[in-house]
Amino acid sequence: MIDFQAIFDTTNHFLLKYLGLSVFKSLVLVGITLLHVAYTTYAERKIIGHMQQRLGPNRVGPRGLLQPIADVLKLIHKEDIIPSCVDSPGVFKLAPFISLVAGATSLSVIPIWEHFVITNVNIGLLVVLAMSSLSSFGVILAGWASNSRYSFLGGLRASAQVISYEIAMALALVGVMMLAGSMNLVDIVKAQISSPYKVYLIPQIIGFFVFMVAAIAETNRTPFDLPEAESELVAGYFVEYSGIRFALFYLAEYFGMIVMCMLAVVCFLGGWYGPFEVPGVPFFWFLVKLYFLIFFYIWVRATLPRYRYDQLMGLGWKVLIPLSLLNIAITGLIKILV
Amino acid sequence: MEGLLPKLVFVYLGIALVATSLLVVTNKNAVHAVLWMLVMFLHQAVLFIMLDAEFLAAVQIIVYAGAVLVLFLFVVYMINLRTELRINNFTVVWPGALLVSVALLLLSVQAIKTFKPAPPVGDMTTEKIIKVGHAKLLGKALFTEHVLSFEAVGVLLLVAVLGAVVLTRRIRLKGEGV
């Protein structure tokens, strides 16, 4: 059994002493998340393959396990084409980075376990919301800068969709804030464990439902992937991107998905706590819950067909927002009565 | 704000804020102007963080950068301002505008000369803000002391929402069906 905590503490102490920064923590977290992103794409292709009676990738390496690495190498080697009539090349080049940086910054406030959070800020929940709303800029600007009809339509759809679903998502999280009495993510996890329900999934079941639906829409995944609907818009906002810039968009999408799943684990499923402690691996339960939610995301993609645009807007404004408001009222009642 | 580093950061923020605001108003390309405004809002958020107002910083990014600017971009998209617009109506009066600006500058310099920070209102002292947290104190003050103005603002916003709905709804004549 390896004592992760001891190794981690010594290395971090060393780096803090000589560099004054928790560079190590950040690098570890970003590195691990990048690996997760790579293998989430593999898992997605494999799982959807099996759900559709296919094999999925199985050529590169044993059972196709090296497929994500081959994909990354291929994308890095490809020529980076910038169309000649893009509207301002600066914005065109900047757009994928905005998406990716906004997605990755959220990682810095999410606690993996009690002693592993890069910056434990008091308004952690708001930081994640702010970053997820900023990441939409990448999509919108990519759509505008490409100067292509498909991209433009994708960008337009993305801006409307993200604004509508952001409200529902933030309102769904208000219930969690009210129950925990804090916006600090570590405090939220601790408040969950000390509450009689152990996880906020039980008193916040409506909030959890609204949050998951809004998170899928926020990250532009099926069944809400209208900004990149391949049957209508080819690939939506990133039609004109190729090579490494295309890869950055892909990365940003999966980063967003993983961050949303982490946030759901922290806010609704009790974070790193589990029914029993696994010695040596304090983040075991966090990972189990995270993998389940990622599987859920993939499962939804394989199961549900894409929404029509007016249905999407109707669902956001007429169903999810009233539901989350109702959830806030119910949570207030629980707070008063219990 | 003691020490050299906060002062340097403040100077940088001040210069960046003024420069980006100028870029916003002088840019001919509407989308670029909105982008510079995004940069300006981010600097403003950092300024709020420097003043220990982390809640305001987050709200600044969520509301202004995340929602209002996206709506701006949406509108710019809709009217499709790709070509550069040259409207002289607003630029011919620049001498008058300059005069007003200089006068305002002089006025603010005079005002700043005798400026002293206001004493904390009620129990909102700096120590308490750092101890309890900005969001908690602000929420408490908003829902107890200032509840009437809070409600009034809520009603005002509701009126604005209803107004927008009424303006955009097509007027249906009788017999045209629902």
Q: Which domain holds residue B122?
A: 117-178
Q: Give which of B35, B41, B60, B71 to mutate to test A binding, by max A Cβ within 10 Å.
A: B35
B135's CB contacts (< 8 A; 6+ apart) are A122, A123, A183, B54, B55
Question: How many domains is chain B built from?
Answer: 2
In this prediction, residue B23 carries a pLDDT of 86
Say whether A233 sits in a helix, a strand or coil: helix
Confidence at residue A78, expressed as pLDDT on a 0 to 100 scale: 84
- At B171 the pLDDT is 65
The answer to whether the CB atoms of B65 and A130 lie below 8 A apart is yes
- Bigger pLDDT: A23 vs B47: B47
- Is B137 found in the same domain as B76? no
pLDDT above 70 coverage of chain A, percent: 93
B69 interaction partners in chain A (CB closer than 8 Å): 137
- The larger pLDDT score, comparing residue A326 to residue A218, is at A326
Of the residues B83, B104, B133, the one at which a domain ends: B83
- pLDDT(B156) > 90: yes
Q: Does any CB of chain B come closer than 8 Å to the CB of residue A326?
A: no
The predicted-structure confidence for A37-74, as pLDDT tens digits, reads as follows: 888 888 888 888 888 888 888 888 788 888 888 888 88
Query: Measured between alpha carbons, how far is A269 from A169 in angstroms, rounded to an integer?
Result: 16
Specify if B10 maps to a domain: yes
**Cα(A273)–Cα(A256) distance, rounded to whole angstroms?**
23
Between helices B134-144 and B147-168, what is the axis angle to 10°?
A: 80
pLDDT band at B55 (very low <50, low <70, confident <90, very high): confident
- Determine contact, residues A23/A15, Cβ cutoff 8 Å: yes
Amino acid at A74: K
pLDDT, tens only, B91-133: 677 788 889 999 999 999 988 888 777 777 666 677 777 677 7
Q: Are residues B77 and B5 in the same domain?
A: yes
Which among A74, A230, A267 has a CA at the least distance from the CA of A154? A230
Q: Does B167 reside within a domain?
A: yes
CA–CA gap between residue A325 and residue B124 (Å, rounded):
30
Q: Decide if B89 is inside a domain.
A: no
Whether A130 sits inside 8 A of B66 (CB atoms) is yes
Mean pLDDT of the residues in chain B: 80
Same domain, B126 and B67: no
* pLDDT tens, residue by residue, A260-269: 898 898 888 8
Task: Look at residue B160 in the predicted model and tell me its pLDDT.
Answer: 92
Q: Residue B61 is part of a domain; what is its CATH number? A: 1.20.120.1200
Three-state SS at A153: helix
pLDDT of residue A17: 58
Q: Is residue B106 part of a domain?
A: no
Q: Which of A24-28, A123-127, A301-305, B64-68 has the lowest mean pLDDT?
A: A24-28
In this predicted structure, what is the pLDDT of residue A1? 54
Question: CA-CA-CA-CA torsion for A138, A225, A319, A170, nearest 10 degrees?
Answer: -30
Q: What is the mean pLDDT of residues A274-294?
A: 82
Where does a domain end: B63, B83, B103? B83
Task: Please answer yes or no on whether A136 and B66 come within 8 Å at the CB atom.
Answer: yes
Flag whether pLDDT at A326 surpasses 70.
Answer: yes
Residue B87 corresponds to which tokens in the numbers above? 């409207």
Report chain B residues whose CB lies below 8 A from the CB of A121: 54
Residues of A in contact with B29 (CB under 8 A): 88
> Which residues of chain A make contact with B133, given a CB cutoff of 8 A?
122
Q: Which two tokens stand for residue A199?
A: 């996880």
Report whether pLDDT(A20) > 50. no
- Comparing CA positions, the residue from A199, A224, A182, A165 lying closest to residue A275 is A199
Separation CA B81–CA A177 (nearest Å): 41
* Long-range residue pairs from B79-88, CB within 8 A, at least 24 positions apart, any chain: B81/B30, B81/B31, B82/A87, B84/B28, B84/B29, B85/B28, B86/B28
